Chains A and B, each alone.
Chain A
Amino acid sequence: MDQLLFNPDYPYILSILIFLPLAGGLLLLFIKNDDFARYWALGITALTAIISIPLVVAFDTSTSKYQFVEQVSWVKSLNIQYVIGIDGISILLVMLTTLIMPLCVLASWTYIKTRVQAFMVCLLIMETAMLGVFMALDFVLFYILWEAMLIPMYLLIGIWGGPRRIYASIKFFLYTLAGSVMLLVAIIWLYIYNGYSFFIPDMMWQNYSSTAQILLFLAFFLAFAIKVPMFPFHTWLPAAHVEAPTAGSVILASVLLKMGTYGFLRFAIPITPEATMTLAPYILWLSIAGIIYGGFTALAQHDMKKLIAYSSVGHMGFVTLGIFVLNTSGVEGAILQMLNHGITTGALFLCIGMIYERTHSRELSSATGVGKYMPIYVTFLTFFSLSSFGFPATNSFIGEFLILAGTFEYSIPLALAAIPGAVLAAAYMLRMLQKIVWGGTDNPDQSWLNDLNVREIITLSPFLFFVFWIGLGAQPFIDLIHVSVANLLDNYHAFHGQAIAVTDLILH
């Protein structure tokens, strides 16, 4: 248990973060008033965000241990514990989740008109499950929250979604669930192999046999690659994104997709280092395929939400690329890029939701030439688009730069293969931006459009703030993750060093 760090100054802070939204959601069930539901959900999510701020302030950047740990035995006979904690890999994702949720509530203020109460309950339960997934240090706790999340997300898409919501929601549910059944078997296998313990840090860096590692890795890979989603498991994503309501899309893009990459970092690499080494080249090339494929497909879209959805496939390809080159800049860049993608793509989905609320169309052609009538809107949109293709001084530039630097270190052909992805990103984002801001000679009449109101500006401003903060001064963020990443990679290399030493010993 030496990997755990208890912070007596902030007892129960993580539990409060997990259970506050749940309690808020359950209480909301009893009050049937739409306006109250909106303010209540905003209040609860904002409170959660405020409570989460001490996490960053008190986070010890000099250690890779799990911090703010809480540990209670839950199911004694199976040795399942309620143990939660955060380290450098998860802190940014936790913060991203808590900070983005109030903005999701704001974005749904007028967008959701029916069954508001139920919608807000779903959002709050989602927040509980998402935070829990990033904090859980017990594999069963992780799995329970990982699966439980499917129900509110399914309802968000299935009830409040667009015209093809039924198809999209079922596809989302089936893909994710089918992917994670083998994860369950892997968890039970690990539990039995490790002397009946579900404690995640205990499972790391153990000497499982090569075959077992490969099989475990494949079980992890299926679950996490579908969630990321990596090419060729991405087909649920465009459907789900397009049909989901704005808040659903933002949650999907900003938080849910990160769970896949988080899973790779937290489970796949430390638990199966040998299999990671063996299979990393294949995953790297799958990532490249995702980057190129996402880019080209996005270039051909007429539906704005689909365009952003496919761009997500490309961006997440960069993240997996960074993770599996397994060097400091790659992994740090990947984690930073997870955060960046959450901010930028979340903001882009919000922008598209705002124009959809006005025109009731996601078609690019019906949104052309709004720049003249919605100057504030296009200003925001421009910055987010620039950020999306990694323009210098925006957040994504830092992330992509680090990832590409890491990739060059690993293999030059691989890095060269990834470059067209960056160019493609500029092509499709600029195409969209050009059409929305200026359009052509055949623009529809947009003069009746109102520019953003105060609520919408408030919703978007925090995103813009972080775009530039990370873009201009990323060091504080990297400091948060650095020690944990270094520790992960040290352990990884030490593990292989050990393996090589043993082989040498046998050979000589």
Chain B
Amino acid sequence: MQFLPELTLLGAGLIVFIISLGKTSADTTRNVAIGLGTTVFVATLLSFSQTGRLFYDAYQVDLYSQVFKTLIAGAMLIVLIFGGNLKGIDNSVRPEYYLFLFMSVLGLMMLVSSVELLSIFVALELSSFAVYIMVPMRDDSGNLRFQMEAGIKYLLFGVTATGFMLFGMSYMYGLTGSTQLSVVIEKLSLMYSQPVAVIAMVMVLAGFFYKLAIFPFHFWVPDVYEGASNETTAFIASVPKLAAVALLIRLVSLINQEGQVIVNVLMVCAVLSMFYGNLSALVQKDIKRMLGFSGIAHAGFVLLGILTFQITGYANALYYIIGYVVMNLACFLVICTVSQKGENVMIEDLSGLYKRSPLMAFSLAVGLFALAGIPPFVGFMGKFMILTSALKEGYLILVILAAINTAIAIFYYLSVVRVTFCSDPEDRVTINSSMLTNATSIILLLVIVIMGVTPQRFVDFASTAVQTIM
């Protein structure tokens, strides 16, 4: 039972692999994939209350990891549903695409349970390598080859970040003589006066900064977001971030007061992420690129919550990233639906969406206003609670800088809403969306509003989850 979600994913991968050997119609493949996604989600729910340790204590199953597994499975299911038609992927490789998707999710699920350096590394690589292949799998219609460029960039940056991380891990092992996270952190916490311990920690964090796209490991974001197919981008933009935050909290929660240098590093990264992301997003024309840059800024906010080093701060960061994933998925759902043949969506392509598809326009508006942090949506509550917990720790300057960023960010979100609602569709086609997509978007909107209006239950739950790993 403890390993059920991972086993289900593995089985799902095998089934898709068998499908890939024969010739099946696109519809069958999609239905099988959605069915398997649902099964995985159910499996995570079934093993929700499991606890225990596996594989010689390298693998820990607790409330914290199970919450994240459920979230990851849920986010994957949503991506599978609205990206079901895989408009951007050639029909012949669709089963393989799903295979890699499931493998990547398997890696992420293993990641949130890993409490040992080597298993962290293996899980992280499993999740990354699958995505490295998913990015260039995009259909090269119109002889556009930027998906190849994106794939190479993603790979090179990924490998570099992993290199940093491995190097940091080797230092950690050298300093502490163990690869068990609990032992490593305990011994390391006595050594923060030595520069080498700080360097080791920062280098290991770099691997997760890369996944979460925090400055200065964000350079892959715009090109990969643009080059990958819409469905792949939706996946990259949401699911891995959940796992990255999970591991960041696991690592950082064990830094004690001595690690002030690391705190300073995190602060600088957070502020630079916010400014870099928001200022770059201002001038984007491709909505995926824009969301990519906005994702960098949001990662900065999450980091702000994490560096309070309080349970409330971690719980707020957790709440924030869940909210972020939901808002982001709502936006990507619209992008995938608006895109007719899997092409990239420019902001001006959304013109008059209000007339072409009222529900999609509404979802996009709510998603963007939520990302911008306008109440009563989840984005505001998340931002508000993170700012509150940061100010409680006395980071006044940081809070002011973050608040200024909110003001900058509103402009680019608003200009998309403007195009959607206030401009003429001219001769753009009407958007037809399936009932399943419509239902998913309504569910996402409800989650955005409910999480924003009644945050108490969610934060309490997040605190309980975080408490289990302290």
Report A's interface with B, CB cutoff 8 A. Answer: 74-78, 140, 143-145, 147-148, 150-151, 154-155, 158-159, 165-166, 169-170, 173-174, 177-178, 181-182, 184-185, 188-189, 191-192
Contact = CB atoms under 8 A, between A and B. Distances in A.
Contacts of B376: 144, 148
A191 B399 CA distance: 14
Given A184-B403, A185-B399, A173 B312 contact: no
Interface stretch (B154-162, B261-269, B295-303, B381-389): B381-389
Nearest to B369: A151
Interface residues of B, number: 34
A158 B418 contact: yes
A34 B391 CA distance: 49
Given A166-B418, A178-B407, A188-B388, 5 more contacts: A75-B459, A78-B385, A177-B374, A184-B403, A191-B388
15 contacts: A75-B455, A140-B384, A145-B375, A154-B414, A170-B415, A174-B407, A174-B411, A177-B407, A181-B404, A182-B403, A184-B403, A185-B387, A185-B400, A188-B399, A191-B388
A143 B387 CA distance: 14
Interface in B363-395: 369, 374-376, 380, 384-385, 387-388, 391-392
A165 B418 CA distance: 10
B410 A174 contact: yes
Nearest to B355: A115
B275 to A, nearest CB: 15
Nearest to B374: A147
Among A75, A150, A178, the most chain B Cβ lie within 10 Å of the Cβ of A75
Secondary structure class of chain A's binding surface, majority of residues: helix
B18 interface: no
Contacts of B459: 75, 77
Contacts of A150: 374
Given A147-B380, A181-B404, A185-B399, A155 B410 contact: no
Nearest to A179: B407
Contacts of B415: 170
Contacts of A181: 403-404, 406-407
A191 B389 CA distance: 11
Nearest 6 pairs between A and B by C-beta?
Answer: A144-B375, A178-B407, A181-B403, A158-B422, A181-B407, A148-B375
B388 A155 contact: no
Contact of B387 (A166, A169, A188): A188
A173 B410 contact: yes
Contacts of A143: 375
B380 A144 contact: yes
A147 B455 contact: no
B410 A77 contact: no
Nearest to B394: A192
Contacts of B414: 154, 170, 173-174
Among A76, A145, A155, A185, the most chain B Cβ lie within 10 Å of the Cβ of A185
A154 B392 CA distance: 34
Contact of A170 (B404, B418, B423): B418
Given A178-B407, A181-B406, A184-B384, A77 B418 contact: no
B374 A148 contact: yes
B456 interface: yes
A188 B395 CA distance: 12
B391 A166 contact: no
